[in-house]
Structure 1
Amino acid sequence: MRRVVIVGAGPTGLGAAHRLQELGHDDFILLEGRSGPGGLASSEVSRNGFTYDIGGHVLFSHFRYFDELFDRVLGDEYQELQREAWVWMMDRFLPYPFQNNIKHLPRDVVLACVLGAIEAQARERAQPFTSFEELIYGVFGKGMAEAFMMPYNFKVWAHPPRMMGTGWIGERVPVVNLERVLGNVIHDRDDLSWGPNNTFKYPLHGGTGGLFERVAARVDGRIRYESQVVGIDARRKRLRLADGQEEEYEQLISTMPLDLLVGLLGDAPTAVTQATQMLLHSGSAVVGVGVRQPCPSSKCWMYFPEPDCPFYRVTYLSNYSPEVVPDARTHYSLLAEVSRSVYKPVSLTSVVEEVLDGFVNTRLLSPADLADVVDTHLIVREYTYPIPTLRRDEALAVIQPYLESFDIYSRGRFGAWKYEIGNMDHSVQMGVECAERLVRGTPELCFRDRILPKSEQELGLLPETVLPPRPLPAGVRAGVRARRRAAASA
């Protein structure tokens, strides 16, 4: 049995730990630099008792394993919701997706969008699109590109679309069905059903973090919190921690950002370190706002392409669960996401005020409503979106094989550095499949961006009754007791 060390107790690390434990592989430990689990899928409770996620997360799944894990750890403690997504532009809301609902826009804009789409789709192409910007203009046409697609995508990615490739798109970007677009305009028809997440689930308690806290509880004795990795000796297979301790491994599953992982190696070849320069990312400032009023809307989330507000998306988070606010009869909450990068700098000292101004500009709040704002909470993260840049895949083809030659498996949203497999369900699945590979030799699929229909998936939870007993190493037991004592005295 080979010793496995997992770095990061987010969805991928927890998925790997959970599967190793299921398989009876006892020689593993999970190291987490923060004081709790969940990573980007964790949630925070403000000083006034509002729960906020790190972005507008919802739970929908491509995987049997994730579904079964969700059911096992949450039981019936979740909400199931019908998506109600909107776009705010030109002083009005229109249903999402934008291109299927342009009938709500001014007539001259509708005409420009339709003519642009017709012209774009009539144009013959001998070569594939070379960038996301080229695809936007080539598929949507100039009208839709300039009205929504270009400004919105810069706001969400914080990078110009000309820097991005196209291989990641898949189901992430709704493209143009010209017959559908024209039919909706002519027949004055709303079109609301596009997308894989038109129905979704959400934990009743604790936000999205509540789900992963429950998963973490199932492997709690294997997690060592506040254990930040600051150095890796890949040849000796040793990790150096911030507190000076060292941890030996035979196989390492890392979920930290891939560029940071390579930086911790110290002696990686020049080609590998140079490849990390092709990996770009955005950070975020997530602003939660609590309002002492009954919720005025049934909306789930809204997109904002225009420059009169700093956020690209706002979620009525209290519509997902009444438990994320102190009293859902008298309070509601909004969650605004603001992206940031060197191409789109954001002042963290003024972003909360700018978000509130943006709420007024977009009529989410009136000036008088500001008196009823009883909570604001700022969450800052440096890594939020791995950007699918033009040379990303070239970089990954250099970095990942080098790491695996030293038994280092970099997985997860930023470990794999693939946005297209970066949702919570993908992230859990990557961890589970990596554990399967290390213990059973089963080939990974999700990491290779191969997703079978659920009806064809064999990987599922094992019955709990067959799990062998798992005595914990003395050092792990001591660490758990210390963390619990610290939490009890906090």
Structure 2
Amino acid sequence: MKKKYLIIGAGPTGLGAAHRLRELGADDLLVLERHGHAGGLSASFKDDKGFTWDIGGHVVFSHYEYFDALLDSLLGDERLEHQRESWVRSCSTWLPYPFQNNIRHLPPQARWECVEGLLPGNRPEAAPADFGQWIEGVFGTGIAKYFMNPYNFKVWATPLELMQFGWIGERVSVVDLRRVLRNIILERDDVSWGPNNTFKFPLHGGTGEIFRRLAARLDGFIEYGQEVAAIDASARTVTTKAGLTVEYETLLNTAPLDILASRWLADRDQTMVEAADRLTHNSVYVAGVGLDIQREAERNPRCWMYFPEQDSPFYRVTNFHNYSPNNVARPGRQLAFMCETSYSAHKPEKLDELMDQTIAGLVNTSLLDAARAADVLTRWETAVDYGYPVPCLERDGALKAIQPRLEALGIFSRGRFGGWKYEVGNMDHSVMQGVEWADRMISGTPETTYRWE
């Protein structure tokens, strides 16, 4: 089989690329997907109790007109729009997100430590060398102690001194001492920060419904159950474990870049292999806990919540029943807690114990009454080896060593793990990486979302 454009992976980036190629009149293409379904990390699943679960807490917000129009065409009116209500659990109390703007809710001693750390002369002024130093320089020791340091380790499963801080951008709300003090004195909550303060969600089928519908438009252009075994860039062929060989002119990879560079590629050189070894990632365990509502007090309007402390294994819990009533089997009458726990060599977890630990954490953090633990109807779980690409200290240098060598071979690598840049790894970013790659291939338009230089 021979195709002009071959795409590895039917996740958001691969589907976005294939869809855009077809819009531009290029039909000589094929997408290889190792699973039997599309969507990648944005897929959704229904368990045997009728609850729908995502692979982590996805919400739809956008930086792009193209993505907005695509979503409109895919979902139409079959979507909901929410005002974000996000909270942090710290010191056995709840604070509106972002933490640093709402420390007035903390107990007095913790509140003072956070303010004291922000006072003039109390924050380091030297240029930071890593993410941990950046946190202390921007937020001070108090906010670092009560939220930033423990939360970020729970998320990344990576010591903060091994991470860079150039990725942050709009991902983290920085702090303003005047604003913090004003909120404390005026007893005002400050919750509007961030690009996702409003977000959309499909009415049916979870986040995966978006990509099921997009994949349906590409019927006949996707081969499922085709996991890549080897890539021969000299012969321009990809061989799968199922025995399929496809000859291509141009290849777009959306699978993890380290696997491509160090395992699949026959033409790899030692520089590329060593660079791939410097890329790091965490893994994520997702637990779905569902049960019936017995009392009105069990309802709350929160969208998702952050957990920096050690009384729970998870770093985030999503009230998935609030995203769409159809995410539960009996709409309006059930709760669906979607809980995420990271793990790595730096933060090992016993996966076979995490479901029980998750339910205990829900009790410890007041989301679930201890007496209700026996009432859990469903315990859905999945473990994702590649959860987040970690912006480690050596990432940028590794990308500069790998990406130009791949492109010289006619191979382009994009997407959350294909490009390995967390800061452009949202759903809209990922789709648009594929779209912009397609535009570049057809018309030479420069890519703007993903840059490795």
Cα-to-partner distance string for 1:127-153 (whole Å, 9 max, x where unaligned): x32100000111111111111110000
CA gap of 1:64–1:120, structure 2 versus 1, over 3 A, is farther
CA contact (8 A) 1:2 1:27 kept: yes
Question: Identity of counterpart residues, as a percentage?
Answer: 52
Structure 1: where are the runs of 5+ without partners?
451-490
TM-score, with length taken from structure 1: 0.90
The amino acid that maps onto 1:258 is L
Structure 1 distance, partners of 2:24, 2:125, is 53
Structure 1 distance, partners of 2:304, 2:416, is 22
Q: Which residue of 1 aligns with 2:216?
A: 217
Structure 1 distance, partners of 2:452, 2:55, is 25
Structure 2 distance, partners of 1:340, 1:116, is 30
CA contact (8 A) 1:120 1:138 kept: no
Cα-to-partner distance string for 1:146-170 (whole Å, 9 max, x where unaligned): 1111000000000011110011000
Matched, 1:168 2:167: yes
- Number of aligned residues: 448
Q: Which residue of 1 aligns with 2:97?
A: 96
The amino acid that maps onto 1:148 is F
**What secondary structure sits across from 1:221 in the alignment?**
coil
**What secondary structure sits across from 1:274 in the alignment?**
helix
Q: How far has the Cα of 1:54 moved from its partner?
A: 0.4
Give runs of aligned pairs for residues 185-200 of structure 1, distance below 5 A: 185-200=184-199
Structure 1 distance, partners of 2:183, 2:375, is 39
Q: Which residue of 2 aligns with 1:463?
A: none
Q: How far has the Cα of 1:267 moved from its partner?
A: 3.5
CA gap of 1:352–1:123, structure 2 versus 1, over 3 A, is closer
Q: Which residue of 2 aligns with 1:62?
A: 63
Structure 2 distance, partners of 1:169, 1:100, is 17
The amino acid that maps onto 1:438 is M
Give runs of aligned pairs for residues 177-326 of structure 1, distance below 5 A: 177-262=176-261, 263-293=263-293, 296-326=299-329
Structure 1 distance, partners of 2:159, 2:266, is 32
Q: How far has the Cα of 1:439 moved from its partner?
A: 1.1
CA contact (8 A) 1:433 1:445 kept: yes
Q: Which residue of 2 aligns with 1:107?
A: 108
Structure 2 distance, partners of 1:433, 1:107, is 50
Picking from 377, 381, 388, the partner of 2:380 is 377
Q: How far has the Cα of 1:408 moved from its partner?
A: 0.4
TM-score, with length taken from structure 2: 0.97
* Greater alpha carbon shift after TM alignment, 273-282 vs 261-270: 261-270
CA contact (8 A) 1:292 1:330 kept: yes
Q: How far has the Cα of 1:266 moved from its partner?
A: 3.2
Structure 2 distance, partners of 1:226, 1:6, is 14
The amino acid that maps onto 1:223 is I
Q: How far has the Cα of 1:94 moved from its partner?
A: 0.8
Structure 2 distance, partners of 1:105, 1:400, is 46
Cα-to-partner distance string for 1:167-225 (whole Å, 9 max, x where unaligned): 10000011111111111111111111111100000000110001111111111210110
Q: How large is the RMSD of aligned CA atoms in angstroms?
A: 1.4
Picking from 326, 345, 348, the partner of 1:345 is 348
Structure 2 distance, partners of 1:347, 1:257, is 24
Structure 2 distance, partners of 1:61, 1:109, is 36
CA contact (8 A) 1:293 1:372 kept: no
CA contact (8 A) 1:103 1:184 kept: yes
Q: How far has the Cα of 1:118 moved from its partner?
A: 1.5
Structure 2 distance, partners of 1:344, 1:122, is 28
CA gap of 1:3–1:296, structure 2 versus 1, over 3 A, is same
Q: How far has the Cα of 1:269 moved from its partner?
A: 1.0
Structure 2: where are the runs of 5+ without partners?
none
